[in-house]
Structure 1
Amino acid sequence: MRTRSSSNLIVESSTTPKRHNRRRSKQRAEPFSLEETSVVTMADQRTMAELLQAPTEGYGDAIVILAENFELKHGLLNLVTSKQFYGFEKEDPHAHIRWFNKITSTIKYKDVPNSSIKLMLFPFSIEGAARIWLEKEPPRSILTWEDLVSKFINQFFPPSKTTNLRNEITNFQQRFDESFCEAWDRFKDLLRACPHHGFTELHQLDTFYNALTPTDQDSLNAAAGGNLLTKTPRDALAIIENKSKVRNSQNKPVVTKVSMNAPSSSTPHFPEISALADAVKVTLLQKSSLSASVKAVE
């Protein structure tokens, strides 16, 4: 009996640790290594630096500006933002470039090229779809003012639109009810809408002259003292401009009006119109006679 109890006690004591041994195991710590801690810390620092540096890639501006010691004044920003380009279908990018050139041509700073001023100010003159377009351009892809204008025009004035306007200029014709000055204004509007049409001044004048009515061509030739196209482009343009300033009823093509009260013999050159006028008069007379008969019966 005692031997079995003793063996049980031995087993219990070997499987169940004493209290002071369990407390000592809790207080026991792993060996501390400064070298391992420093290695982990340096790796963490490198990872953190990479994470902080990654978002900055690809956010560079498309426009490269080579100018120092230049500060954009608040008045300049208000000036260029007063008439912004949004990229709408009806907006004219050429007109925006002309306006922007006119505004920035008056800005002068010592040792700062005017092209650099334009590159700095242009992003403030666009908004909406135009600003989104510029932000999507690759970083450092626009080095000069000419680069910016070329990309801007190609984006908002595609080649298909250029082709259509070139065809309109080539096939220009004076309209039936259009005066000389109105035709000249319309022709200039087409040239202004497509300034990169590529037509020479002589070609433009020849196209416009051949598009006119014989009456207006004779008038120009009389003012030129001969054939208008034999003059220099500058002289021919001056004659056209002088004629376009005469805005009176004589410039309008004469449109013949048919009077319903006039006899049919007054329009011998238009037999169909005369017959129609006679038919209308007969109908009106019949209607008038019927109305009189109805009143008499009443």
Structure 2
Amino acid sequence: LKQTLINLVLSNQFTGRQDPHNHLRFLNKVTSMFRHPKVPNTTVKLLLFPFSLEGEARIWLDKEPPRSILTWEDLVSKFINQFFPPSKTTYLRNEITNFLQKSNETFNEVWERFKDLFRQCPHHGFSELHQLDTFYNALNPNNHDALDSAAGGNFLDKIPRECLSIIESKSKVRYSRSRVTDVRTNANANLSNSQSNSFDLQQIAAAIEDKLDIRMNRFEKSLIEMKNSLVTPTAPLKAVTEVCVTCGSNHSYNQCPLTRGGNDYPVFHDNIQQFQTAAGGNFIQNRQNQTRPPGFHQPAQKNNNQNHF
């Protein structure tokens, strides 16, 4: 045996809990790809079979008496009887005989479930016509009418090959329609869920907005109270009394008699009088010391009090 073939079998070992018929089909498929012109295929399967078992199944094979399995047919018979006993065959036969379509089951689903029962029980013993009759009578009235309409009369009047062709054709059509229906149903459900989710989001947003309004009102009220607490009342301002900068009396500078001229002089403060006297003396002295242009003679002051003769 080639190591590649052994590794392939080791990747899909039978433990005693799987379907033994499926395991035998797997071995037939694997060995059919590695044919040797001088070695029969059944011999290859006998040599390869022990590598395909593990656990409970391997223990069973090791307990078989020596030379109790001489051919591939002997091995298959013992293997099926051990892991697929007659009681299980009887149970599956009853399941097939009492088979009925479920209320929520589509045509494609009921046909696939019916075929699965026959795959699980290869030794059922039912003829092809008996299988078709069992399936037809297990359907609901709507599917009866659909098969009769496709057959152009009584469905069971057709030969088994034509009946199988009609069933497979109807199964594919119904399967495509059911998928479209499922897609539409899911789309409607998603739309409904999205609308519901949108409504929920709107409610949440409205609740958050209300809470924000309440908090903003409280915040504005707190700011107003804080502002009022910081403002202190101001004392009334006293009337400003205008004082003359020249003489210190209670009148404006423009109304001062000293600046306006006249013979009525107020009594000055000492410092202001001294300032005025010093300023006048400096002014006169400066006029006397002023340098004049050549040929200019200052006229002598006339004494206004001098008597004229």
> Which structure 2 residues correspond to residues 35-46 of structure 1 after superposition, within 5 A?
none
> Which structure 2 residues correspond to residues 142-161 of structure 1 after superposition, within 5 A?
142-161=69-88
CA shift, 1:232, in A, is: 1.2
Q: Which amino acid aligns with 2:25?
A: R
| CA–CA distance in structure 2, aligned partners of residues 167 and 204 of structure 1 | 13
2:65 pairs with 1:103: no
Q: Which of 131, 136, 152 lines up with 1:209 in the alignment?
A: 136
Give the equivalent residue in structure 1 for 2:51: 124
Deviations 1:180-219 (A, max 9, x none): 1110010001010101101011100000000001110110
Q: Which amino acid aligns with 1:74?
A: Q
CA contact 1:162–1:197 (8 Å) conserved in 2: yes
Give the equivalent residue in structure 1 for 2:159: 232
CA contact 1:180–1:251 (8 Å) conserved in 2: no
Secondary structure of the corresponding residue to residue 118 of structure 2: helix
Deviations 1:67-122 (A, max 9, x none): xxxxx11111101111000012xx11111111111111122112111100110001
| CA–CA distance in structure 2, aligned partners of residues 123 and 198 of structure 1 | 29
TM-score with structure 1 setting the length: 0.58
CA contact 1:104–1:117 (8 Å) conserved in 2: yes
Give the equivalent residue in structure 1 for 2:116: 189
Larger Rg computed on CA atoms: 2
| CA–CA distance in structure 2, aligned partners of residues 175 and 114 of structure 1 | 44
CA shift, 1:249, in A, is: 4.1
Secondary structure of the corresponding residue to residue 245 of structure 1: helix
Deviations 1:197-254 (A, max 9, x none): 01011100000000001110110111111111111111100110110112224999xx
Give the equivalent residue in structure 2 for 1:135: 62
TM-score with structure 2 setting the length: 0.56
Give the equivalent residue in structure 1 for 2:11: 82
CA contact 1:179–1:251 (8 Å) conserved in 2: no
| CA–CA distance in structure 2, aligned partners of residues 104 and 250 of structure 1 | 38
CA contact 1:77–1:121 (8 Å) conserved in 2: yes
| CA–CA distance in structure 2, aligned partners of residues 250 and 151 of structure 1 | 44
| CA–CA distance in structure 2, aligned partners of residues 115 and 249 of structure 1 | 45
Give the equivalent residue in structure 2 for 1:115: 42
| CA–CA distance in structure 1, aligned partners of residues 90 and 27 of structure 2 | 25
Give the equivalent residue in structure 1 for 2:148: 221
Give the equivalent residue in structure 1 for 2:288: none
Unaligned runs of 5+ in 1: 1-71, 253-298
| CA–CA distance in structure 2, aligned partners of residues 251 and 163 of structure 1 | 39
Give the equivalent residue in structure 2 for 1:173: 100
Identity within the alignment, %: 68
Give the equivalent residue in structure 2 for 1:50: none
Q: Which of 3, 7, 19 lines up with 1:92 in the alignment?
A: 19
> Which structure 2 residues correspond to residues 211-290 of structure 1 after superposition, within 5 A?
211-246=138-173, 247=175, 248-249=177-178
| CA–CA distance in structure 2, aligned partners of residues 116 and 98 of structure 1 | 16
RMSD: 1.5
| CA–CA distance in structure 1, aligned partners of residues 30 and 39 of structure 2 | 16
Unaligned runs of 5+ in 2: 182-309
CA shift, 1:149, in A, is: 0.7
